[in-house]
Structure 1
Amino acid sequence: MAVRRLDEHSGPLETHCFVCSPINEHGLRIPFSYDDERAEVLASFTFAQRHSGAPTYVHGGLSLAVLNEAMAWAVVAGARRFAVTVDTTARFVRPLRIGADYRVRARIATTAPDRLGTTGTIVDGADRVCVEATAEFRVLSESTASRLSARVATRRDPSA
């Protein structure tokens, strides 16, 4: 199985992503990987008390953020394109608990010239589905991705 680690240098844009960047001190810092054979993004994670919504439960928005990030990485790693989410639908099957171990998986489900459909699932330690989602991403043109990349580089190097 060919699994490779994904990071902010894996895609066309470097970011300080709230979900995955290891240098975002306020972020979740979830490390994502891509299984080339299965064409699937994978990550394991545990939420802390600071991520709670109701007592002992993870805030639902955080599970959606993790799913959206996994599905976005599926686009970057699988299609080697940069895209933005234009629509997403989620179904909460069972609540996520603070301190429990979870895994997320995501993949590209459908393709069109400027759109990619994705699916994602968060499962618990017993492989029970907790949250599942679908999303549609609009692929950015090469020129738009290049302009965004140049803006990021300019912010990092004021002399550029």
Structure 2
Amino acid sequence: MVAIKNPYEGLPEHGCFCCSSKNPIGLKLSFWYDETNQTVETRWLPELNYQGYHGVLHGGIQSTLMDEVASWCIYILEGTAGVTHSMEIVYSKPMLIGKGQVVVRGRIDNREKRLVTVHVELFDGESNLCTTGKIKYFVFPPEIAKSKYGYPGRDAFLDGGE
């Protein structure tokens, strides 16, 4: 696993709820890339203020985590940027808070022209699979992602290479 650099972190306006260290109410996520398995993941320790039912991680927070990992899959595995097109989330079992750090892992499942489907899995702190998702992203051609949306290129996330 290789730690992924967040090239947006140096921008004064970067306040992403998920990945900015500057957002006081944000999740402050970091990401890792597994070149062998072609996956991107994050690890995060949920606290009770993110619960829905008592002791259960809110489903909206779960889907947010999964959407963010899907976005970073597009950055790293597709080498471009995009926007969420649709999400299909299946909550198989309650994600209990207090079991330790959760792991959210994504991989590219399908490519159809400019729509990329990312398969994402969310595991609780005891490595039980709790939630899965198929998240479709509308991806920009790399030159458009760079010129119009500030995508810095894949190498900026990997410090110039793997």
Normalised-by-shorter TM-score class: 0.7 to 0.9
TM-score, scaled relative to structure 1: 0.82
Q: Deviations over 1:70-122 (max 9, x none)?
A: 11111111011101111110100111122332111001111123111110001
Contact 1:6 1:34 in 2 (8 A): no
Shift of 1:36: 1.7
Deviates more, 1:119-128 or 1:79-88: 119-128
Letter in 1 for 2:21: P
Letter in 2 for 1:16: G
Aligned to 1:147: 148
Structure 1 Cα separation of the partners of residues 27 and 61 of structure 2: 9
SS at match of 2:147: helix
Shift of 1:127: 2.2
Structure 2 Cα separation of the partners of residues 104 and 19 of structure 1: 13
How many residues align? The count is 146
Structure 1 Cα separation of the partners of residues 7 and 49 of structure 2: 25
Q: Deviations over 1:17-46 (max 9, x none)?
A: 211222211101121111122110111111
Q: 1:70 to 1:144 in 2, by over 3 A?
A: closer
Aligned to 1:29: 28
TM-score, scaled relative to structure 2: 0.81
Backbone CA RMSD of aligned residues: 2.1
SS at match of 1:110: strand
Q: 1:139 to 1:125 in 2, by over 3 A?
A: same
Aligned to 1:119: 119
Percent sequence identity over matched residues?
23
Shift of 1:8: 4.0
Query: Counterparts in 2 of 1:1-160, with a 5 A limit?
Result: 2-9=1-8, 15-100=14-99, 101-141=101-141, 142-143=143-144, 145-149=146-150
Query: Where do 4+ consecutive residues of structure 1 move more than 3 Å?
Result: none
Query: Gaps (5+ residues) in structure 1?
Result: 151-160
Letter in 2 for 1:111: R
